[in-house]
Structure 1
Amino acid sequence: MSKRLSTTDTLSFGFMLFAFFLGAGNIIFPPLAGLQSGENLMPAMMGFLITAVGLPLICLVAIAKIGGGIPSMTKGLPTWVGTAIAATIFVVIGPAFATPRTGLVAYEIGAVPFLQDPSSSTQVIFTIAFFAIATLLALYPGKLMDIVGKALTPTLILLLTALAVSVLVAPSVPAGEATGAWAEDAFTTGFLEGYMTMDALGALIFGTLLVDILRRKGVTDSGDQARYMMIAGVIAAIGLAFVYISLFYVGGASAEIAATADNGGAILSAYVQSMFGGFGAVILAAVVVLACLTTAVGLTTAFAEYFNSKIKLGYRNWVLICAAVCLVVANLTLSELIAISIPVLFVVYPIAMALVIYVFARPAIAARTTTLAAMLIGALVTGVASGLNVAGLAQPLVAQFSILPLFDQHMGWIVPVIAALTFGLVYKRNERALATAEEQA
C-alpha cells in the first residue's frame, strides 16, 4: 500500500529539488538579461520565467506521470533511441557545457574581482585547482558534501534575499536602453534565454531519481508520486522564480556600474561590490564557488554513473574522463562557452519538449510508436536547422526551413511536432468511429 508523506517530508522533498536546480546557470543569466533588456525588462523576464521555471516543472510532472525517465518516455521505439537521447543530455549537462560552466562562473565571481591582472594563465591555474577538488570529491564522496550542501543552499538564499532587498531600498537607477534582440522582441529573447539554464534537461535526468526516492519512502502509487512531484515542483519553482526575479532587477539596476559587462558573473560581482563593499564581495565569492563546486561534483557523478552503466570502463575512469574534458572546455571564456552552447541547445531542447508533449497526450494516442517517432524526427530535423541557423552554417539549406511559422524565433519545431501529434490523435478518433460503425452493423 502506498504511503503518504508528512508535511515536513513533503517540504524537505521540495527544498531538495530546489537545491538540485540551483546552480551556476541560475545565477549568471538573469543579471545579464536584466541589464541588456533595459526598459523591456518586464516582458524579457516573463519569457525567461516560462522556460527557466515552467518547463522544468512540466518535465518533472511528465516523468511522474509516466513513472520513469527517458527510457519510459521512448518505450516502443528501439532501445538505442532512448539511450542516444539520454546520453546526449548527459553530455550536454556534463563535460560539454554545464559542468565546465561551473568552473568558469566560480572563476568569474570567486577570483577575477580579487585579481589585479586576470589572464588566461590565472584562469588555467584556478580551473585546475577547481576541477581537481571536484574530482577528488566525486571519487571519494563522503559527509563533507552533505555538510556543505546543507549549509550552502540556505546561505545562498540569504545572500540572494539580501540582494533583492537592496534593489528595493537602493536609490532608483534609470533603466538603460534595450540592446540587440532585446530591443526587437524582448519576450521571445527571454524565452530562448531561459533554455540556457539547462534546468529542463536536468529535470528529465534527475526526475527519475526523485521518483526512486519517493518509491524508497513507500510512495508507490503513480498518482501519489505525480502529486508529490507537483508539490515539490511548485516549491522549487517558487524558489527559482524568486532568484530569477531578484537577479533580473539586479541586472537592471547595474546599468551604470556594469555597463560594459559581457556576462552575468561580472555584473553580479560589480553590483555586490558597489552595494556591500569588499566584505560582501568575499561572501558572494565564497558561496558561489561552493555552489559551483557542489554542482560540478553532482554532475560529474551523474555523468560517470550513467556512462559506466552503459560502457564498463569503471566509475573512476569515467570521472577522470569527465574532469579532463571539463578542464579543457573551462579554459574558454564564459562568453565563448555560452555562444558555443546555444546552437547545441537549440537542437536538444525541441527533442526534449517533443517527449514531454507526447507523455501528456499519450493516453489519447492509438498509433503511439509511429506518432512518437514522427514527433521526434520533426523535432530533430527542425532543431538541427535552427542550430545551424544560429551558428551561421549551411545557410542555403537552412533557408528552406524559413517557411515554417516561428522558425525565425527558433521555435520552428512546434509545427511538425504538433502536426505529428494531431495525426496520432485523429487516428485514434477514426479508429473508434470505425469500431462503433462495425458494432452497429
Structure 2
Amino acid sequence: MKKHDLLAIGFMTFALFLGAGNLIFPPSLGLEAGTNLFPAMGGFLITAVGLPAFTLVVLGRISTTQNLTQPLPSWLARTFWVALFTAIGPAFGMPRAVTVAYEMGLKPFLDSDQLLLFSVVFCGLTLALAFRPGRLVDYIGKVMTPLLILMLLSLALAAIISPLGLPQAPSADYQQNAVTHGLIQGYMTMDAIAAVGFGWVIIQAINGKGVTEPKAVANTAFKVAVIYAVLMAGCYLAMGYVGATSTTVAANATNGGEILTRYVAGEFGIYGQWLLAAIIVMACLTTTVGLTNACAEYYKQTFNAPFSLTASIVVVLTCIIANFGLEQILAVSLPAILVICPVAIALVLAAFVLPSKKVSAWVYNTSLLTALILGGLDALNILGQIPESLGTTLVRMLPLYSAHASWLLPCLLILTLNRLQVISKTVMTKATE
C-alpha cells in the first residue's frame, strides 16, 4: 500500500472516532484535574485510546471482523452484531451525533427550534456521502479530516500561546487517584465498542487498496491503529489542556461543551463560535457517515441486503429518533450500550489471547455470558439502580466493581486458564512425539 493511502485510512479512522463527545469530554476532565492534568490524562489515554487501538490491531489479526464471533453459535453471533450495530447506529450513536451537532453547532445562532429541518439536511448529507463507500477514504481521509485537524490545531495553539488561565488545584476525585480516575473516565467513553463496529469499514478500506493477504492486512491495521492513536491522543491532550486553562472563563461550567464554548468565545470572540460550530458539525458528520457504512456493510455481507437500501433505512431511522431529543435517546439506549460494551471487549480479548484453531466454543460462550451478567451489574451501578446495601457487598466481592469493570478480571481468568491448558496440551503432544 502506498504511504499516502495508508495515511488517508489512518486519518479516516481518526475522523470516524472523533465525535462531539470526544471533543467535549476532555475539557471537563482537564478543568477538574487541574494541576494533576497529565497523570489523569495518562490514565485516560490508556483506556480511551489504548483500548480502541488494541481492538483495531486484533481485528486486523483476524483479517475479517466477522471472525470475531466465529466460535459462537450462528444465532448468538448474529444477535450480538445486530444488537451492536443497532445500538451504535440508529438507536443511539447516530441520533446522538445529530442532536449534539445541532445543539452545539447551529442552535446558538437560531432564535427558534429548527431540529427537524437540521436533522433532515444533516441526515441527507450523511446518506449522500455514504452511498459511495468506495470513496469514503477520499471523502473523509483526504479532505474532511485534514480540515478538521487544522481547525483543532488552531484551537490548541491558541490555548498554548495565549492561555486564558492557569490550572487550579484538582478536585477531590483527582487529588490522590488521578491516574485511576482517568482510567475509569477513559473506559466510560466506550470507544472500544465503536472500534468493533468501525472495524467493518476500516478493514474494507484496507482491502479496497488491494491489501487482502492476512499478514499484510494485520500489518496495515497495526499501522492504521498507530496513526489513529497518535492523532486522537494529541486531540485529547489539547482539549484537556484547554479545560485546565479555562478557570477564568469556565469556573462554574457544568459540562465540557459549556467549557469549550466559553473558551473559544474568550479566545476568538464571535469567530470562535463559528470555528467551534464547524468543528462540531464536521466531527459529527464524519461519525454518522462511518456508522452508516459500518451498519450497511454488515447487513450486506451477512444477509446480502443491498447497501443502498440498508443505508437509507439506517439514516431515516436516525433522523426520526434524533427528533425525540438527546435526553430521551440517552435514557432509552444507554443501558443497552453499557451492557454491550463489556461483551464486545470480552470477545476482542478472547480473539487476542486464544489461538482460533484451538479454542473451544464453550470458552467464548462462557466469556460472553460472564461479561453479559457482570456488565449488566456495572450498567445498573452506573445508572444508580443498585441498592446501597447490595452495592457495598458487591464492592467487597467483585474486584473493579467500583470502577464499573467487574467483568474484566473474571473474563481474563477464564481466557488465561484456557490458554494455559492449550499450551500444556501442546507441550505434552510434542513430548510424546
Q: TM-score, normalised by structure 2?
A: 0.86
Deviation at 1:209, TM superposition (A): 3.5
Deviation larger for 5-14 or 130-139: 130-139
1:406 and 2:379 aligned = no
2:411 alignment partner AA: V
Deviation at 1:152, TM superposition (A): 2.5
Pairing 1:360-399 to 2, within 5 Å after superposition: 360-363=352-355, 366-395=358-387
Deviation larger for 328-337 or 268-277: 328-337
Deviation at 1:234, TM superposition (A): 0.9
1:151 alignment partner AA: V
Distance (whole Å) between structure 1 residues aligned to residue 425 and residue 230 of structure 2: 43
1:248 and 2:231 aligned = no
Distance (whole Å) between structure 1 residues aligned to residue 135 and residue 357 of structure 2: 47
For 2:249, what is the secondary structure of its paired residue? coil
1:158 alignment partner AA: L
- Find the counterpart in structure 2 of residue 426 from structure 1: 420
Per the alignment, do residues 235 and 315 of structure 1 end up closer, same or farther by CA in structure 2, a change over 3 Å counting?
Answer: closer
Which residue, out of 76, 79, 85, partners 1:81? 76
- Find the counterpart in structure 2 of residue 199 from structure 1: 191
Pairing 1:281-320 to 2, within 5 Å after superposition: 281-307=273-299, 318-319=310-311
Deviation larger for 201-210 or 347-356: 201-210
Pairing 1:3-402 to 2, within 5 Å after superposition: 5-69=1-65, 71-115=66-110, 121-135=113-127, 138=130, 150-171=142-163, 173-179=165-171, 181-182=173-174, 185-307=177-299, 318-319=310-311, 321-327=313-319, 329-331=321-323, 343-363=335-355, 366-395=358-387, 401-402=394-395
Distance (whole Å) between structure 1 residues aligned to residue 371 and residue 89 of structure 2: 22
Distance (whole Å) between structure 2 residues aligned to residue 335 and residue 231 of structure 1: 38
Deviation larger for 289-298 or 101-110: 289-298
Per the alignment, do residues 250 and 417 of structure 1 end up closer, same or farther by CA in structure 2, a change over 3 Å counting?
Answer: same
Distance (whole Å) between structure 2 residues aligned to residue 133 and residue 214 of structure 1: 24
1:211 alignment partner AA: I
Distance (whole Å) between structure 2 residues aligned to residue 314 and residue 227 of structure 1: 31
**CA RMSD for the aligned pairs?**
3.4
Distance (whole Å) between structure 1 residues aligned to residue 180 and residue 247 of structure 2: 22
2:210 alignment partner AA: G
**Cα deviation per residue 1:149-187 (whole Å; 9 max; x = unaligned)?**
743222221111111111111146132454474557433
Per the alignment, do residues 280 and 379 of structure 1 end up closer, same or farther by CA in structure 2, a change over 3 Å counting?
Answer: same
Deviation at 1:241, TM superposition (A): 1.0
CA contact (8 A) 1:305 1:315 kept: yes
Distance (whole Å) between structure 2 residues aligned to residue 18 and residue 250 of structure 1: 20
CA contact (8 A) 1:368 1:424 kept: no
| Number of residue pairs matched by the alignment | 431
Deviation larger for 194-203 or 154-163: 194-203
Deviation at 1:375, TM superposition (A): 1.6
User: Please, which runs of 5 or more residues in structure 1 have no aligned partner?
Assistant: none
Distance (whole Å) between structure 1 residues aligned to residue 136 and residue 52 of structure 2: 28
Q: TM-score, normalised by structure 1?
A: 0.84
Deviation larger for 361-370 or 17-26: 361-370
1:422 alignment partner AA: T
2:322 alignment partner AA: A
Distance (whole Å) between structure 2 residues aligned to residue 18 and residue 59 of structure 1: 14
Distance (whole Å) between structure 2 residues aligned to residue 316 and residue 107 of structure 1: 26
Per the alignment, do residues 329 and 187 of structure 1 end up closer, same or farther by CA in structure 2, a change over 3 Å counting?
Answer: farther
Distance (whole Å) between structure 2 residues aligned to residue 242 and residue 382 of structure 1: 33
Which residue, out of 392, 406, 409, partners 1:415? 409
Deviation at 1:293, TM superposition (A): 2.5
Deviation at 1:57, TM superposition (A): 1.2
Deviation at 1:229, TM superposition (A): 1.4
User: Please, which runs of 5 or more residues in structure 2 have no aligned partner?
Assistant: none
CA contact (8 A) 2:163 2:245 kept: no
Distance (whole Å) between structure 1 residues aligned to residue 63 and residue 421 of structure 2: 25
Report sequence identity in percent. 39
1:170 alignment partner AA: S
Deviation at 1:308, TM superposition (A): 6.1
